[in-house]
Amino acid sequence: MQYELVVLVNKDTEQKAFTEKLTQLLQKAGLNVDSEIGWVKRVLAYPIKKQTEAIYISITLSGTNPNSLNEKFKLDQAILRHLVVKIKNPRKKKVKKAASN
């Protein structure tokens, strides 16, 4: 199964240390990181835990059910919010066909 994980992290969090910590946590849960779409700093539409800015991290995962991550994410002070979504039909590379005359 494939999943997409989106995490909102406190803007003051160090990228390298948090990435290592998150990767270890995901591996312990039996999940493999397929791709990380990076760190994007954004202004929030409304304050979350008194924060007006956060870093968005989007990761594609594969493996077992990630429901065990909810409690671990709630305990981490750096994580403001998280969302895990099951990908039903993984995107395949689209091949453009040549126009026929």
Query: Contact at 8 Å (CB) between 78 and 13?
Result: yes
Q: Which domain CATH number covers 69?
A: 3.30.70.60
Residue 33 lies in a domain: yes
Residue 98 lies in a domain: no
Residue 43 lies in a domain: yes
Tokens standing for residue 90: 């993984």
* pTM exceeds cut of 0.85: no
Averaged pLDDT, groups of 10, the chain, 101 residues long: 90 89 88 84 92 92 83 88 85 55 50
Domain that holds residue 67: 2-85
Query: Contact at 8 Å (CB) between 18 and 9?
Result: yes
Number of domains into which the chain is organized: 1
3-state secondary structure of 45: strand
* Residues 92, 33, 37, 75, Cα dihedral to 10°: 140
Residue 12 lies in a domain: yes
How many CB atoms are closer than 10 A to CB 39? Answer: 14
Residue 30 lies in a domain: yes
pLDDT of residue 54: 94
